[in-house]
Amino acid sequence: MKPLIGTELKRFLRDYRRENQPDFDIVGLLQSIEYPANVGSIFRVADGANLTELVLTGITPTPPHPTIDKVGRFKSLRVPWRYEKEPVTAVHQLKEEGYTVVAVELSDTAVPYHTFTYPQKTCLVLGHEDHGVTKATLNACDAAVFLPMYGKGLSLNVHVAFSIVLYHILHHR
């Protein structure tokens, strides 16, 4: 089988997208993600998964930003996003809109990401690269999931962890 390129690839992806649209309404909440490269990567992943929205909070840099734009390939122009200073306020707003809010975080109540049953309306909360999700935000969440690590490292880069959990949700059913 030869690889698809150019127009053939675009047609294949268009047809696949039409026939296999996941039935999820997913929001990502970035709680003080400090590094613009990570924010740009998350925008790119959010576009790839057709997220409903990204909510940027705390010290998370916002578009337009040269690094976010370059790394994210200007997906901030396509992915709906908003800024809310306080992450706990954003969590409460999302709960009022019917979202189940799930932190991607190592905590004593977290379960492996692949064992959790994600509702149709899910918000994934991502925390600061070094400090993770704050206790206040974690307490406002409905649940927490983690990625099991089998090497010496305790965690993955925030946009990589987000990608793994997000695509698991989209394709698990």
Task: Give the model confidence (pLDDT) of 115-147 as tens digits.
Answer: 999 999 999 999 999 999 999 999 999 999 999
Question: Position 78: which residue type?
Answer: R
Question: Position 40: which residue type?
Answer: G
Helix (H, G, I), strand (E, B) or coil at 111: strand
Domains and CATH numbers, the chain: 21-171 (3.40.1280.10)
Q: Give the containing element (helix H, strand E) for 70.
A: helix 66-71
Residue 138 is predicted with a pLDDT of 98
Residue 173 is predicted with a pLDDT of 63
pTM (2 decimals)? 0.95
When pLDDT is cut at 50, 70 and 90, the band that residue 155 belongs to is very high
Quote the CA–CA distance of 59 and 150 in Å, as a whole number: 31
Is the per-residue pLDDT at 165 higher than 70? yes
Average pLDDT for the chain: 96
Helix (H, G, I), strand (E, B) or coil at 79: coil
Can you say whether residue 163 is alpha, beta or left, with left for phi > 0 and alpha for psi between -120 and 50 degrees? alpha
| Residue-wise DSSP of 112-167 | EGGGS---SEEEEEE-BTTTBS-HHHHHHSSEEEE----SS-S---HHHHHHHHHH
Residue 51 is predicted with a pLDDT of 97
What average pLDDT does range 103-113 have in this prediction? 96
For residue 92, count other CB atoms closer than 10 A to its CB. Answer: 13
> What percent of the chain is predicted at pLDDT more than 90?
91
Is the per-residue pLDDT at 1 higher than 80? no
Is the per-residue pLDDT at 152 higher than 70? yes
When pLDDT is cut at 50, 70 and 90, the band that residue 172 belongs to is confident
Residue 142 is predicted with a pLDDT of 98
